[in-house]
Each structure stands twice: as structure tokens, then as C-alpha cells.
Amino acid sequence: MLVGAVVVVAVGIVQVAYWGAVAETMEQNVRDCGLWRSTPPGRLLPWPKPSGLLTMIGGPMTPWDGVVCDAYVSGAFVFVAPGVSIGSGSFGWGVLDWLRPRRQGLTENPRSP
């Protein structure tokens, strides 16, 4: 259980940093959640990167960047970030539990009467 909690906290910290970087990139570089304000265009995945310095409307966002942009503008990221953190923690805990060595040869509960 401790491993799952550590994974949830670690992924939560990364989610806070990621969505903070998305907010900064969106405020400075994105126009109408689909076009970059300058060129060459930036990106929002895997980590936000601002667009270039040439001031002109850049190219459209990639489909995945559009999803992140819509999640930020609509406020859905408030639910997405904890969901990703909890889901990752549950998955990490399950994988580590599955990898943990098991005792062999016990066919019944030794504490049973």
C-alpha cells in the first residue's frame, strides 16, 4: 500500500508541474485553442514547449495538443490530473504486488483452526 501512495504522490507532483507549464504556455502562445500565436508552432505533449519568436499565426495544433488545450480551457484538467495520479498509483501498486515473490507450498491458511 505504501508503494501505491508513493506513486500517487510522485505522479501528482508531476501533474501539478505539467499543468502549471501548460497554463504558462497557453497564456503566452495559444490563440483560440487551436492556433499558435507565433511560429514555429510549439507543443503541449509530452511536455509543453512555447512556440517560436516569429510573430505570425503559427500552424494548427496537433490533435493531442487540441485535447490538452480543451481540457485546460474547459477546466476538465481539475478532474483529469487527480484521475491520472490515482490511476497510476493503483496500476503501480498492482504491478508491484504482482511482481512480489509468493510463498510456495501453502495450501491452506496456517491461522485457521
Predicted confidence pLDDT, tens digits, the chain (113 residues)? 676 778 788 888 988 899 989 889 888 888 778 788 888 888 888 899 988 888 887 778 888 888 888 888 898 988 988 888 888 878 877 887 788 777 665 556 556 55
Q: What is the pLDDT of residue 34?
A: 79
Q: What is the pLDDT of residue 17?
A: 92
Contact 48, 24 (CB under 8 A): yes
**71: which 3 cell numbers?**
481540457
Q: What is the pLDDT of residue 90?
A: 81
CA–CA distance, 22 with 28 (Å, rounded to integer): 10
Please, what's the largest Cα pairwise distance for the chain? 78
pTM tops 0.85, yes or no? no
